Structure 1
Amino acid sequence: GRFFYQFGITVAGAVIISLFVAFTLTPMLSSRFLKHEPELGPYRPGLIYLPGNLLKWILRTWNNFFNGFNDRYKTTLEWVLHHRLATLIIATLAFIGALGLGSMIPSEFTPEQDQNQIYISFKAGPDASLEETANLAAIAEEKIRMYPEVSHILTSIGGEQTPVNEGTILVKLPPKSERKRTVFELIPLVRQDLSTIAGFNPQVATEASEGGGSQTVEYSVRGPDLNITKLIASQFEDIMRQAPGAVDVQNSEKQARPEIQISMDRDVANDLGLSVAGVATTIRNLIDGVVISRLKDVNEEYDIRLQLAPEYRKNIDDIARIKVPSMKKVGGENYLFEVGNIAEMKWSSSPNEIRRYNRQREVRVGCNVATGYATSNISDYLMANLNKINIPPGYDIKPVGMLQIMGESFASIFMAMALAIIFIYLLLASQFESFIDPLAIMLSLPLAVVGALLLMFIVQAKLSIVSLIGIVLLMGLVTKNAILLIDYAKQQRRKGINRHDALLIAGPVRLRPILMTTLAMIFGMLPLAFGIGPGAEFRAPMAIAIIGGLISSTLLTLVVVPVVYTILDDIAAKLVGHETVQREVEEEADQSE
């Protein structure tokens, strides 16, 4: 809910300050600078008058265009007022069509950005040592350095919570303006090159995944029995591999690590004075090593680890020859016994980690999204084909990580949109002292959605939390046009003008301020929509939604809102038994009476 907290605070603060300026500074400046402008006059000959003549031509051209547009608008407004049913049908079809287009727009959580980097997480074979993993990473680095756009490479392998067969490679690139190819063009090429390395399993993305998952699209397959859960996860993985745009498909249970299982004969061990804990500790100290001291070199300190040499800890026979001291003494002497004499050893495998979700065994199946696709392309395909899997009762497949956060965030945005509509209605109802008039004004809201979705569909933008924030912002922007129109029409009705003529007066008079404010907002959003500057991919969807919503809302509001206003006014008049707007009695008439 706080994803755009700073954005909301900034917009609210700016609107409050602009309201204060509009009530104080603007009237003062208008009284000082606004004068009666004389006629432009004819063009004057001579080169010296060229700038003035050019300005006159621009002003005349604009005024002629606007006057012609105003006349055509008045004619259109008069037509729609006489054909109210046809106008409503057209507006309704436009809204339904926009919703249909909206279902065709792919969605994602946040837009992908060219952040001048490529993030690669990789896994070597389950039994790979640190040296083997480092060799594979070195081969990957050589392939990555072949791209001229690469400036720096940082590789890390293993860690406190990461096994030695896993690691990451962070590839830094120059600024976008200094290279010919974008990150989105490089990622498929890098992924293809790295996939040719035997024993190297990479995942290539623009940044590390958030939300607790390791990939953009991730599902949790859970249930009480691990074997059945594995079977369901395997079938779900097969479906995911066929999904459009799914790359780097991973299954958490397919990375089982080989291990040597040691089963002690407890009776024999007890007779020889050996304990399970003592045997385990001795093997661990010799194989994994134990830190016995630290070496200080200038400002750095290094652990001194004591362990068997590599050639003495390669296989089962080496472990079988490890000698463990007995706790019993015979004739005052300590005896050592080989592990192979008291235990049975065999190769086996086990998962790297045991996953649980809500106390149920879990298997994670996930993938990344290929360039040119969206998260919804994969999730919609998976949900459409989920019925191909026989899921027993008690087992479930649910989205997790970024996909889960995306669903929760979208739900929160729609809730915020609903609250915005309620608050707008309450504010308008108090302002107009009517419960009916705000309904006509608020018709601008669905009309704004028409343009927002239509423009996003035309430019092939993706629906994300950023574009939804733009649609929420539209809720407060587009109602101003209808307010200007309806308020002025009601002023004319209070002067005794009938409703039809009042609307024909209000429309052309309010057309200029409506177009001025709308065009100012559109031109202010154009730099964001064009994607200029670093991080522009993140901001552009919001600007596209706002521009599309403003265009459709302005054009449709000028013709549809007056029609709806007349219909609602007729309904209200029938309910109260008289006209909803009464003519104001002039003060002079009151005094004469």
Structure 2
Amino acid sequence: AGQTARSRQHHPRRSGSGHGRGLHRRLARRRRVHVHQPPAGPAAPRQGQRPGRAGAAPTGGRGAGGGFMFINLKPATQRTDKGSAVIARLRPQLARVTGIAIFLNPVQDLRMGGRSSNSTYQYTLKSDNVADLRLWATRLADAMKQQQALVEVDTDQQENGIESYVQVDKDSASRLGITSRDIDSALYNAFGQRQVATIYGELNQYRVIMGVAPQFTRSPESLKDIYVPSRLPAGLAPPSAPSAVAAPAAPASTGPVNPGLRDQATGSPVSSSARTMVPLAAIAKFSERPTASSVNHQDAELATTVSFNLAEGSTLADGQAAVRGAEASIGMPINVRGSFQGTARAAQESQQEQPMLILAAIVVIYIVLGILYESLVHPITVLSTLPSAGVGAVLALMLFKLDFSIMALIGLFLLIGIVKKNAILIIDFALDAERSRGLSPVQAVREACLLRFRPILMTTLAAILGALPLVIGFGEGAELRRPLGIAIIGGLVASQLLTLLTTPVVYLLLDKLRRRSPQERELRRQHDQPLPA
């Protein structure tokens, strides 16, 4: 993610060919800003463009009237700034480019679900009411823009569409024997791609779709040519004017022309002759009004996604807390629900699962050690070394200003297996000395610490040297592996310094508690009782 940066921008939708030329001019201005940045190479041109022109083109994707551009950074060995630092420096300069909305995102080699959005992280609102959803999505986005941890907040609501609204005069329709269902059926027959039949062949089957000719779907004026069947007798229905959709030249008949067209109430065939068809314009008025160009759904509910990026120096946990704070500040109603999606949701689920995974690993280790030592107490001595390793790993990550990422969690799991060897080496030797040579616990653990110090030190140094390349490595993916190495080394150093002091203390304390138990006293009494002569 630190090698390549991707920027995507969307422009308000306009009609006409001048919009594309204007977008190219604005993107060319962006490109001039990019190429003057020291860590960035030239903007990569899109396929089909001549070198030297703006490396962007209008797209017909989710945001109509938008374009995108790729900026390739120099190799990591030739620059000192990370991709996030380059993006942070570009944002204030690109904000001066007017007439265009700009979103800068580092290229993610691995994206975990979610929708296509202008920013990296996503928060999705769901509701059963589209008006409430639009209102509260806008309010939430405005509240998120006030959060210092969030930048480039955007929603996928594209309010640049136009819908044709049919307002039916119910009184006129009722006098002509026309119901709302009849009008809905007529409009669906014309524009809804209704499947009316299936043609079965030897190797395939073909669906027969009913609809008006394509030239009548290009303008709302075609609504005036739609005819609706009337239930009145042929002599009482008003005469229909000639139309390109319902051809009056067909011979009139009192019988049904299409037996498949039936009354929804009675099930009887409805006559579709010209003398019983009523123009839709005679019973309805047509108007146009703005609307969303698309309506998204998720889990069978209306959904709107608010995307955001993180400000420089902010972690994903800070961003999630900022989103929750913005949501709480506006007081959303109960019928509008929100949740993180994509990468943010995967990170949230990972954070929720981390404690359970660590607890499961500790339980398995305790069971194995209990079987090994045939004791319920001594495995606790081994597990007492884990807190020092965990604290050392967290302190090392904080020292180098790194997040507790998935790689750091993997390093913590590795530490759970590595740092136990210090206590195991000491306890094995001490138990053997007690059982075979009859030494007291104090003498046995002291001798174990003295004789096992060198093996403990050498194995720790070997593990640290093995993790050192993860910390100082270069090239592709080095930034991903660095938290793993730092967590391992930090945990090993802290464990090495503390376990040689804490392990003997915990061993003697638990041994004293074990000897005080009634079962242990009874075993010692039977062991000390002399054998009969």
Q: Fold-level match, TM-score > 0.5?
A: yes
Match of 2:428 in 1: 487
Contact 1:130–1:165 at 8 Å: present in 2 too?
no
Tell me: CA distance 1:163–1:397, structure 2 relative to 1, closer, same or farther (3 Å). closer
Contact kept? 2:128, 2:335, Cα under 8 Å: yes
Q: Partners of 1:229 and 1:277 in 2: how far apart? A: 27
- Does residue 460 (structure 1) correspond to residue 460 (structure 2)? The answer is no
Higher relative contact order (CA 8 A, sep 6+): 1
**What residue number does 1:507 align with?**
449
Instruction: Provide the C-alpha distance between the structure 1 equivalents of 2:150 and 2:102, rounded to a whole number of angstroms.
Output: 14
Provide the aligned C-alpha RMSD in A.
Answer: 3.8
Task: Give the residue type in structure 1 aligned to 2:306.
Answer: V
The match for 2:41 among 150, 157, 161 is 150
Change (3 A) 1:370 1:525: same
Question: Is residue 120–residue 307 contact of structure 2 (8 Å, CA) maintained in 1?
Answer: yes
Q: Map 1:573-592; keep pairs closer than 5 Å.
A: 573-575=515-517, 576-578=519-521
Q: Map Cα deviations across residues 537-590 of structure 1 (whole Å, 9 max, x no partner).
A: 1111111111111111121111111111111111111123349999x9xxxxxx
Contact 2:23 2:58 in 1 (8 A): no
In 2, are the aligned partners of 1:221 and 1:398 still within 8 Å (CA)? yes
Which is further off, 238-247 or 452-461? 238-247
Tell me the equivalent position of 1:529. 471
Deviation at 1:496, TM superposition (A): 2.0
What pairs up with 1:237-256 in 2 under 5 angstroms? 237-253=141-157, 255-256=158-159
Of the candidates 97, 102, 114, which is equivalent to residue 212 of structure 1? 114
Deviation at 1:481, TM superposition (A): 0.7
Select which of 515, 520, 529 maps to 2:462.
Answer: 520
**Greater shift in the superposed pair: 399-408 or 190-199:** 190-199
Task: Return 472-481 or 323-332, whichever deviates more.
Answer: 323-332
Q: Residues of 2 paired with 1:318 and 1:199: CA distance?
A: 35
Q: Provide the rounded CA distance (Å) in 1 between the counterparts of 2:16 and 2:524.
A: 85
Is 1:552 equivalent to 2:491 in the alignment?
A: no
- Deviations 1:483-514 (CA, angstroms, capped at 9, x unpaired): 01111122222312221122221112211111
1:20-419 alignment, distance < 5 Å: 113-114=1-2, 116-127=3-14, 132-133=19-20, 135-146=22-33, 147-148=35-36, 149-151=40-42, 152-154=44-46, 155=56, 157-159=58-60, 162=62, 164-179=64-79, 181-207=81-107, 210-213=112-115, 214=117, 215-253=119-157, 255-259=158-162, 261=164, 263=166, 276=187, 285=215, 325-329=244-248, 345-384=286-325, 386-419=327-360
Paired residue secondary structure (1:212)? coil
Runs (5+) with no aligned partner, structure 1: 1-112, 289-312, 333-337, 585-592
Cα–Cα, structure 1 residues 318 and 423, in superposed 2: closer, same or farther, change >3 Å?
A: closer
- Structure 1 CA distance for aligned equivalents of residues 352 and 395 of structure 2: 22
Q: Which moved more, 1:488-497 or 1:462-471?
A: 488-497
CA contact (8 A) 1:413 1:469 kept: no
Moved more, 514-523 or 121-130: 121-130
- Distance verdict in 2 for CA 1:339–1:229, change over 3 Å: closer
3-state SS, counterpart of residue 349 of structure 1:
strand
Query: Partners in 2 of 1:350 and 1:121 — Cα distance?
Result: 24
CA distance change for structure 1 residues 326 and 381 in 2, over 3 Å: closer, same or farther? closer
1: CA distance, partners of 2:26 / 2:343: 31
Alpha-carbon distance between aligned partners in 1 of 2:243 and 2:342, rounded to the nearest angstrom: 47
Q: Secondary structure at the match of 1:577?
A: helix
Q: Structure 1's 251 and 198: CA in aligned 2 closer, same or farther, altered over 3 A?
A: same
User: Structure 1 residues 468, 462: closer, same or farther in 2, change over 3 A?
Assistant: same
Counterpart CA distance in 1 for 2:82 and 2:128 is 46
Alignment equivalent of 1:496, drawn from 432, 438, 447: 438
Q: Does the 8 A contact of 2:155 with 2:305 survive in 1?
A: yes
Deviations 1:382-432, CA, capped at 9 Å, x for gaps: 334543232333432222221111122233443332222122112211221
- The C-alpha deviation readout for 1:450-481, integer Å capped at 9, x for no partner, is 10111111111111111111111111111011
Work out the CA distance in 1 between the residues paired with 2:213 and 2:80. 56
Shift in alpha-carbon separation, 1:156–1:579, aligned structure 2, 3 A: farther
Shift of 1:218: 1.9
Contact 1:158-1:167 within 8 A present in 2 as well: yes
Q: Runs of 4 or more off by more than 4 Å in structure 1?
A: 128-131, 264-268, 275-284, 316-321, 329-332, 338-345, 578-582
Q: TM-score, length-normalised on structure 2? A: 0.71
Identity across matched positions, percent: 26
Equivalent pair of 2:216/2:222 in contact (CA under 8 Å): no
Letter in 1 for 2:159: A
Cα contact 1:130–1:164 (8 A) shared by 2: no
Q: 1:529 to 1:259 in 2, by over 3 A?
A: same
Aligned AA (1:187): I
User: Partner residue of 2:195?
Assistant: none
Shift of 1:119: 1.4
CA drift at 1:376:
1.2
Deviations 1:224-246 (A, max 9, x none): 33333333333322331122231
CA distance in 1, matches of 2:448, 2:522: 19
Q: Secondary structure at the match of 1:325?
A: coil
Aligned to 2:239: none
* 1:436-455 to 2 correspondences below 5 Å: 436-455=377-396
User: What are the superposed Cα offsets for residues 515-551 of structure 1, whole Å, 9 maximum, x if unpaired?
Assistant: 1111121122223223522211111111111111111
With over 3 angstroms needed to count, the CA separation of the structure-2 counterparts of 1:129 and 1:566, relative to structure 1, is farther
Q: CA separation of 1:548/1:261 partners in 2, compared to 1, >3 Å: closer, same or farther?
A: same
